[in-house]
Amino acid sequence: MFTDLPLDELHTYRPPRPEPAGFDAFWRRTLDEARAHDLDARFAEVDAGLTLLHTYDVTFSGFGGHRIRGWFLFPRAAGGPLPCIVQYLGYGGGRLLPHDWLLWPSAGYATLVMDTRGQSGPNRPGDTPDPVGSGNPGVPGKMTQGLLDPDDYYYRRLFTDAVRAVEVAHGHEAVDAGRTVVAGGSQGGAAALAVTGLVPGLAGALIDVPFLTHIRRAVEITDAGPYGELTRYFAGARGHIDTALHTLDHFDGLNFAARSSAPALFGTALRDDVVPPSTGFAAYHHYAGEKELKVWRFNAHEGGGGEQRAAEITFLRELFG
């Protein structure tokens, strides 16, 4: 069943943004603190059996100087610096294996895949620990870790890692830094959207079924997926709801969208109960850069799947001429 507003209302749905005072100063301070640590990007070539690609195991310093893992792949036949896709991952999973990331190298681009700190799963293994404790009692998962203070919140660390991953890509000789695109779906879409608002000069963004946008509405209309961690926490932490929502405002994609300038392709699905479509439409309508939106009427959180990927291939081909 459709899970949200009718499509004609979604096409004009542009709610107010919950921007907290000092939003820009908070993120400027956060990134300044991260950049006080040497990025120390290291690329160790590995034999993954992919004879047409250079494949590297990547490590670099993210938030707090914590070491973040990733993969870096690009075609051996490359004749010069390439456009680069910086890929962020969905909730509950890690960087997988190099052969899981063949799409963008096959299309002729370099690809930097950022592992997600503290997340892994049986079918999506990760390799990056999160050495920071939760800071306050919460429910299982990442959504309530450090929730009562923006400085302590889990996504402050993750979004900072995501910015540093772009800096890693920019520093590699195989990459044309002026043609860098950020990409991701769900949690990865949230990270990509955040980076568009924090890093100037990006060439583009691929933002699919983005999580952590219009959060105050999301927690009122769905208990599914990661948002359910928040609603379960709120049910017990009755006296902390306003404090927690204030923290979440610092990480809401609507506020990053309003600061974005890179051309972007969005995707949303009308039967998505994990990321309600009104939240994706809200991010799209607030996005300040050039933008396109693919709407999948009878799909859920998988969105357009392979057809969204095909649209992204076309989008990048047109973007890079």
Active site residues: 186, 272, 301
| Beta-ladder partners of 104 | none
Phi/psi at 65 (nearest 5 deg)? 75, 5
C-alpha closest to that of 61 among 137, 140, 134, 128: 128
Phi/psi at 215 (nearest 5 deg)? -65, -40
Contacts of 281 (CB under 8 A, 6+ apart): 10, 11, 13, 268, 293
Task: Return d(Cα 198, Cα 250) in angstroms, integer.
Answer: 12
Neighbours of 199 (CB within 10 A): 19
Q: Determine the Cα angle at 10 with ends 9 and 16, to 5°.
A: 100
Q: Based on the number of CB atoms within 10 Å of its own CB, is 302 exposed (0-12), middle (13-18) or buried (19 or more)?
A: middle
Question: How many Cα atoms sit within 13 Å of 166 on the Cβ side?
Answer: 29
Judge whether 275 and 215 are in contact, CB under 8 Å: no
Distances (CA, A) of 238 to 49, 133, 217: 53, 23, 18
